[in-house]
Chains A and B, each alone.
Chain A
Amino acid sequence: MKKRTNFWGWFWVLLAMVYFLVPLVGTLEFSLEMLRGIRSFAAYQAVFDDPQFAETFLFSNQMALLTIIASLALFVPTAYWVHLRVPRWRPVVEFITLMPFVIPAIVLVFGMIKIYKNPVVIGPVMLLQAPTNSVLGTNALLVAGYVVLAMPYMYRAVDTGLRAMDVRTLTEAAQSLGAGWFTIIVRVILPNLRAALLSGALLTFAIVVGELTLANFLDRPAFGPYLWLLGQHRAYEPAALSIISFGLTWAALGMIYLVSRGRGGQAQVAGAR
């Protein structure tokens, strides 16, 4: 009986691995066939030789980093406050954070362009030049848009992390020991959210680096549009790029695993005794 269970267990694992690995191996194969008849890394060479690759990749990484910082600054205190003080608003807040799934990015970007192509004016006072007229302004719009796109993932990650600990009692314990709000968030809440924040950050990173619509319509030199362009005009390089980005993603996942395991307490946050 036991043997049977084992067999079927392995069967499903292998089936899943085949499903997952076959396209990957196929892509890898294809990316190595740029030069007729021999296996070579010519496609990878071509990718790395293109200065646009480095430029756009760097740009998107910077945007991703800014997006992660902005969304952490926005969502950690929000989710914390909702948990602590207004738990009955949680469904409402959750609904709002899910909006980007329903509203396509194209609507978001056209909305932004329509509003921010004009100067920001309150009454007779002009606060800001039209943001779309400057590189800085457009980048800011791009990051703002990314924050919205990443919101469902980031908020959910933070929310899950907060659910796994007794936010209210930990906060009160810290308060009674003399800690103020800033100390509580930095010394008590954030460290216990580390694993959750890392996974949120990784998802945000993945979304931003591959994002096409916002970057395209705001006309920024991002990695998404570059990928898309390359896919339109080349055969082997996109395959090589897929493998590269896949490797990067796995490296990031591995890092998260290591970091969340590294400090004893983290992995055990939810494990009450």
Chain B
Amino acid sequence: MGFLDLINIRKTFGAADAVAEFNLEVERGEFVSFLGPSGCGKTTTLRMIAGFEPPTAGQIRINGVDVTSKSPNQRNVGMVFQSYALFPNMTVAGNVGFGMKVTRRPKEEIAARVKEMLALIRMPELDNRYPYQLSGGQQQRVALARALAIRPQVLLLDEPLSALDAKIRVELRGEIRRIQRELGITTIYVTHDQEEALSLSDRIVVMSAGHIEQIGGPFEIYNFPKTAFVASFVGTLNQLRCQVVDPAGGKLSLEGQTLLSNSPVSAAAGQPVLAMLRPEELHFGAANGENRLDGEVLSVVFLGAVVRVQVGIGSSVLTLDALNERRLTLPKVGDRQTVSFPPHAVWVMPAS
């Protein structure tokens, strides 16, 4: 049993399942992300933990206590919203102290906690500002401080960075993780941004169409996806349609060229399968592994740190990411190139 337990949670809206068979144990102090496309049920699940939506079936336990039928204001769960949701009529200090004022804590205690929280979010000077006088990033910091001021058992964040600029997003991401570590607070973070999920989380729950696809650490999710959905949703992925040549030897055929894989192949010889490959595992030239494919450069996109090149192998398209270097000569569209990679970079999934 974990600190936060979601046991067989189901939620139906009308006839459709928004969330089904959701089982998760979160340890105390753990940072868990729910990752998935919009409509996958991640926010609905978060709202059930907060108490804004009652689950149709199942049980939610926090620290061993069943909170399934408790109202949101009895759960002691902190929530941060995408739209900040600061109270416009209150100052920063008023917002941060609101939760304690509601529970009638003594004035000195509130003042001390507000001060502590503002120091935590590194905005000690701005206690008298109103929300409209703050930038988006500052508002979200205040919202975080407000949620933490009640010393919640669990902190819930619902796409907290989605409304912010790219740069602020990365900065605040680091702040959230730092504060979470400092307080050791159990945190659930909802996002559709895989980079956020990968960089922040202890564990990631990848969701699709209301159910869990895979639960695991960022490294595991990225490198060892269990389903085709996880593989394609997290990171960029080459999915190449191949024919099985020798199932035991992991030998496949792509447009007449041979492809070797270390992963087991369950289909029989002659059957179609999908060979999966991360773009960053591919290299130009023949020196980087037993697999060598010849093709024509279709496009070259310079992204800064990475150069993304598409190579056509017959009718298949292979995406390759090369790290930028100053001495690099960029390939030209129309060039013939050899792409090489080791067999362990390839894993095989049944063709749907």
Contact = CB atoms under 8 A, between A and B. Distances in A.
A268 B89 CA distance: 9
A180 B73 contact: yes
Interface string B130-159: 111111100100010011001000001000
B117 to A, nearest CB: 13
A63 B177 CA distance: 58
**Which residue of A173, A176, A183 has the most chain B CB atoms within 10 A of its CB atom?**
A176
A45 B71 CA distance: 63
B222 interface: no
Contacts of B77: 176
B346 interface: no
25 contacts: A166-B83, A173-B81, A173-B143, A173-B146, A175-B52, A175-B72, A176-B72, A176-B75, A176-B77, A176-B79, A177-B78, A177-B146, A177-B147, A178-B73, A178-B150, A183-B102, A188-B87, A192-B87, A264-B130, A264-B133, A265-B132, A268-B130, A271-B132, A273-B132, A273-B139
- Contact count band on A: 20 to 34
Contacts of A271: 132
Interface string B84-128: 011111100000001100110000000000000000000000000
B207 interface: no
A265 B89 contact: yes
Nearest to A181: B73
Contacts of B83: 166, 169
Contact of B73 (A175, A188, A192): A175
Contacts of A265: 88-90, 130-132
A192 B88 contact: yes
A194 B81 CA distance: 24
Contacts of B79: 172-173, 176
For the complex, would chain A's binding face be called helix, strand, loop or mixed by DSSP majority? Answer: helix
Contacts of B146: 173, 177
A84 to B, nearest CB: 11
B88 A179 contact: no
**Which residue of B99, B132, B143 has the most chain A CB atoms within 10 A of its CB atom?**
B132
B72 A172 contact: yes
Contacts of B132: 264-265, 268, 271, 273
B123 to A, nearest CB: 16
A178 B103 CA distance: 7
B130 A177 contact: no
Interface of B: 50-52, 71-79, 81, 83, 85-90, 98-99, 102-103, 130-136, 139, 143, 146-147, 150, 156
Contacts of A264: 130, 132-133
A179 B72 CA distance: 9
A177 B98 contact: yes
A192 B52 contact: no
B98 A174 contact: yes
Contact of B136 (A180, A187, A273): A273
A166 B89 contact: no
Contacts of A258: none
Closest 8 CB pairs of A and B: A177-B99, A191-B89, A268-B132, A176-B79, A175-B72, A173-B85, A169-B85, A265-B130
A178 B139 CA distance: 20
A178 B102 contact: yes
A176 B144 CA distance: 13
